[in-house]
Structure 1
Amino acid sequence: MQLFYHPNLEADAGDVSFDKDESRHISKALRKQHGDILFITNGRGFLFTAELSHVDHKSCLAKITSVEKKPALPYHLHLAVAPTKLNDRYEWFLEKATEIGVTEITPIICDHSERKVIKAERYERIIQSAMKQSLKVWKPELNPVISFNDFMKKSFSEEKKCIAHCYPSEKESLKHTIDAGDSVIILIGPEGDFSHLEVEQAVAEGFQTVHLGNSRLRTETAAIVACHSIAFINEG
């Protein structure tokens, strides 16, 4: 199954047209022909089945034959993760978190952050590609980059708020903190960890300090461990 992404496609659409890049991919790379079946998502839970009615490397058209609404994740997971010094490590995190299952991602700039500028458009393309590759029809939301201080001023709808850091303190294991179906937000700091002040600020805002195991993990690894832990708790 090959999944295509068309963000503007509505549930009641009868036809769909593809832009130049997707049309070239359909006609040249995949060698699709008139009458072939395509599967398309708008990233909002809908899976469309469509039959190609016109194939051209500049503009492909298809007629939608059926629409199905797929359920969202059985949990809400918001990962707020500091960008890594090496950009490819953060891109790896975005890809794998999308494959595993995450609701939204926020890049946060912390006191110890070495990278303070991100490539939002590239990040978005990576998430879209991972969504299609893993055959998911719900696209994670990539929020704008924000400073830690400004992030702490926001109102959070999540019922469980956690911060993972490496400082010695009384910390509960993440897996013993979360129950299936919980709405969760987890903060993961940069390579130099959160500052003491940031940890204190988060705790003051109601975040619970948690650990992800006995090993000291890189930022991107910690984020994936947290993501998989929540997915695992919700399995079955």
Structure 2
Amino acid sequence: MKIIRVFVSPNEIGGSIVSFSEKNSKYLKNVLRMKTGDEVKVFDGTREYAVRLTTLHRNSVSGIICDTQCVECDRPDITLAFGCIRPGPMQEILRHCTELGVSRFVPLLTAHCSRKPSEKKERWESTVSGASAQSGRSTAPAVTEPVLLKIFLDSLQGNDTRLLLSTSADAAPFWSIMDDPLERITLLTGPEGGFQPMEEDLATQKGFRSVSLGSGILRAETAAIVAVGAVVLRREFMRKSCGPIVS
């Protein structure tokens, strides 16, 4: 039986009762044809709940919480900061990297992308919420408003592993990160046209290591997705081979 998962806002949950929004109610009643007594999985960005539907009206559906699960705690903490690109490819980055486990997205305004995207932040949040539900995540990643590259770099703190995707001849091969702790990662990828040399220099001054995915030229969205996938796969391999990674 297919598991139905629905993302809800925290204000739809009151005690042991979930009162679905009009949008979610129509989806459950009219699209999925759910009935009283059916069970759905509900997550609000912090927890996942098993909910049994008790009331179905024209524009309102409610249910009672039968079980609560904590959020997944064994995912790496990945921040993907990427140069803003066209809406379609940007949606691909948000969708696929959410499925892969990115914790937060930071759209960047750079020399090759100095204007804010036409899409609204609410649209991006809807995309990552849908991808989280589809991929079985209990939490949806955060998405920030677009920010200037320099402001983002100046805001960084902590001991995270910082990687900059680069096409420079001096960039180390991506597999060179294999010995790095990858529990908290900040991954910096460029827009169409990449970063300018002065932007890469600025990132390097902030502790980023330039790495390359190979000699081929990848589209901006492809590079971001492949890099995140490589980080997640490497970490999973190390966990299975050596046990939990301690950073």
Normalised by the length of structure 2, the TM-score is 0.88
**Aligned residue for 2:231?**
230
Q: Percent identity?
A: 24
Matches of 1:58 and 1:10, distance apart in 2: 14
- The answer (yes or no) to whether the contact 2:76–2:182 under 8 Å persists in 1 is yes
1:127 aligns with 2:128: yes
Give runs of aligned pairs for residues 140-151 of structure 1, distance below 5 A: 140-151=141-152
- The answer (yes or no) to whether the contact 2:75–2:101 under 8 Å persists in 1 is no
1:52 Cα deviation (Å)? 0.8
**Aligned residue for 1:6?**
8
- The answer (yes or no) to whether the contact 1:158–1:184 under 8 Å persists in 2 is no
Give runs of aligned pairs for residues 27-106 of structure 1, distance below 5 A: 27-44=29-46, 46-84=47-85, 86-106=86-106
- The answer (yes or no) to whether the contact 2:161–2:182 under 8 Å persists in 1 is no
- RMSD between superposed Cα atoms in Å: 1.9
Matches of 1:160 and 1:206, distance apart in 2: 9
Listed one character per residue, the Cα deviations across residues 55-94 of structure 1 (whole Å, up to 9, x for unaligned) are 123110101111111423431111100111x210110111
1:150 Cα deviation (Å)? 1.1
- The answer (yes or no) to whether the contact 2:173–2:211 under 8 Å persists in 1 is yes
Listed one character per residue, the Cα deviations across residues 165-217 of structure 1 (whole Å, up to 9, x for unaligned) are 21222x22233215454311011011111111101111111111111223211
**Aligned residue for 1:152?**
153
**Aligned residue for 2:174?**
174
1:12 Cα deviation (Å)? 8.4
More moved, 25-34 vs 72-81:
72-81
**Aligned residue for 1:194?**
195
**Aligned residue for 2:109?**
109
| Aligned residue pair count | 233
More moved, 15-24 vs 3-12:
3-12
Matches of 1:19 and 1:10, distance apart in 2: 7
**Aligned residue for 2:245?**
none
Higher helix share: 2
Question: Which structure would you say has the larger RCO, counting Cα contacts within 8 Å and 6 or more residues apart?
Answer: 1
1:140 Cα deviation (Å)? 0.9
Q: Which amino acid aligns with 1:30?
A: L
Matches of 1:33 and 1:158, distance apart in 2: 50
Residue 55 to residue 12, structure 1, CA distance change in 2 (3 Å) = closer
Matches of 1:63 and 1:205, distance apart in 2: 49
- The answer (yes or no) to whether the contact 2:52–2:66 under 8 Å persists in 1 is yes
**Aligned residue for 1:23?**
25
Normalised by the length of structure 1, the TM-score is 0.92
Residue 74 to residue 131, structure 1, CA distance change in 2 (3 Å) = closer
Structure 2 residues without counterparts, runs of 5 or longer: 241-247
Structure 1 residues without counterparts, runs of 5 or longer: none
- The answer (yes or no) to whether the contact 1:20–1:58 under 8 Å persists in 2 is yes
- The answer (yes or no) to whether the contact 1:24–1:56 under 8 Å persists in 2 is no
